[in-house]
Structure 1
Amino acid sequence: MKPIIDSHAHIDFPEFDNDRDALFLQMRSVGIENVLIPGVSADKWQRQIQVAKQYDCYYALGVHPWYSESASTENMSDLRGILKLRKGDCRLVAVGECGLDKLHKSNFTTQLNLFKEHIHIAMEFDLPLIMHVVKAHEEVIKCLRTESPHRKGVIHGFYGGPQLAQQYVNLGYKLGIGGLLLNDNAPKLQQTVAQLPLESFILETDSPAMTPKSSQNNRNTPLILPEIIKKMANLQKKSAVRISEQTFFNVSQLFDL
């Protein structure tokens, strides 16, 4: 069985400060070899890089749409500077997370401008994008079609139905599948996983957020990944080994790991 990679886990967050060492040991004992730590805001980038270095994790840098109003032109200039400085760092594999979120109170035009800036930076540095998209798929698809980045990327925490999923896949993007799949009230997402080719998906948890409803814990961790694989195997009518191998290939190919 191929090792498992969590393509989206905020393992640098303070929620993990008390037991990060122990968690990494537990992860490795169940075959989870690595995580990709996405960026959320400029003030957290250095801590993120430090954790990635300490635990030999992959990481991405960017500004989450929730932080778009506090982001400045200096932040984007800093992002370019860090990407230039760390060009040879094989752990730095993407730009993000970035994107659009209509449920958040921050100004949508500000979000949109910042998202476009992330796309341009990703194109400039030939890196894939990690995107957070909530109730704004039409706008994101329009941006991706217009800008047409070469390296593509992932729609993280995807929760939509097969028709929407297919639009992204047709454009060359992967879909990040996480703990939502384990919830009984996610029929659209379960339909998507059952119907689309396995090549469309990568695994993620969005830890410490997005805890499945069945979980006893408030804090989500990468340790739920074997359950997600099992659920995908059930929906795809394939073996867990097949799911594990293909999703490992997908994430390796996407981020050039």
Structure 2
Amino acid sequence: MSSKAERPPVPERLPAPVVDAHTHLDACGAVTAADVSAMVDRAQAAGVDRVVTVADDLAAARWAAEASTWDARVFAAVAIHPTRTKDFGEPERSEIERLARRDRVVAIGETGLDYYWDYAPPAAQQEAFRWHIDLAKRVGKPLMIHDRDAHEDVLRILAEEGAPERVVFHCFSGDAEIARQCVDAGYVLSFAGTVTFRNAHALQEAARLVPSEQFLVETDAPFLTPHPFRGRPNEPYCTAYTVRYLADLREQSVEEVASAACRNAERVFRLPSVTLG
């Protein structure tokens, strides 16, 4: 019997490469360059040839930006998570902007609104979100949004501020109606292991309707491990499980889903192509 502390098995390699559009390599236990390469080696064995490692505070932003220089398959996103915006002053903003301008930092994220937790008041979250929207536009990089129990305010603020050219809803959690609004606005929806959960009927309905040019796949590792391994440690290689689930859900081939998600990631994040060995 498998332990809840044990990683899921590395699945069969996908027939086409895919990008894990949102992971947290540091939270997965990576510290050194060797740790990072070992994790990405496991991912590549499953057909996940590149990852975007994402920050949620200043220390994580520094680490992600540096880790993206350790392995050609790793890219970074930097921002302050909405739950950490209670004290988001000028020193933090200046450093996030400095890191955001680095070449291998490919997105501003994760930023947005989180009304599930009460670590930061809504007013502070909304002001920080507006600042990150402006930063994304100033540096010309996509905005990676964290939206938890805040769909209406996230969409409203994007409309009020004027959304950047490229917007990604990380770990999309809305229903079909929210998905339609996002699709109509030109936003990209990123699906994590949550779409595979047995009780995720509204999310699954949303995933069916998103056009092939407007979705990504991600792990949000070490969280949200796909079914049937829910509750066990997640890593980028588990993207392959979500790809296969989405293929069944959308009545497409695994290769079609992987290829579309890969093309979208390359376009949104402006990633160089990589040929799997």
- TM-score range (shorter-chain normalised) is over 0.9
- Summarize the Cα distance change of 1:212–1:121 in structure 2 as closer, same or farther, 3 Å threshold: same
Please say if 1:153 is aligned against 2:170: no
Match of 1:26 in 2: 42
Instruction: Indicate the residue corresponding to 2:93 in structure 1.
Output: 76
1:120-135 alignment runs, 5 A limit: 120-135=134-149
| Offset at residue 70 of structure 1 (A) | 3.1
Question: Of the candidates 88, 104, 115, which is equivalent to residue 117 of structure 2?
Answer: 104
Equivalent residue number for residue 12 of structure 2: none
Residue 60 of structure 2 aligns to a residue whose secondary structure is helix
Q: Does residue 1:40 correspond to 2:56, yes or no? A: yes
Question: What one-letter code is carried by the residue in structure 1 that aligns with 2:153?
Answer: E
Instruction: Tell me: CA distance 1:26–1:80, structure 2 relative to 1, closer, same or farther (3 Å).
Output: closer
RMSD: 1.7
Who is 1:189 aligned against? Answer: 203
Measured after TM superposition, the shift of residue 62 of structure 1 is 0.5
CA contact (8 A) 2:22 2:51 kept: yes
Structure 1 length-normalised TM: 0.92
Contact 2:172 2:191 in 1 (8 A): yes
- Which residue in the other structure is 1:116 paired with? 130
Q: How many residues align?
A: 253
Which runs of 5 or more residues in structure 1 are unaligned?
none
Q: Is the 8 A contact 1:102 1:108 kept in 2?
A: yes
What fraction of aligned residue pairs are identical, expressed as a percent? 27
**SS of residue matched to 1:96:** strand
Q: State the Cα distance separating 1:50 from its structure 2 match.
A: 2.2
The answer for unaligned runs of 5 or more in structure 2 is 1-14, 272-277
Is 1:139–2:156 an aligned residue pair?
no
**Aligned AA for 2:71?**
Y
1:249 aligns with one of 235, 259, 263: 263
- Partners of 1:95 and 1:127 within 8 A in 2: yes
Residue 124 of structure 1: how far off its partner (Å): 0.9
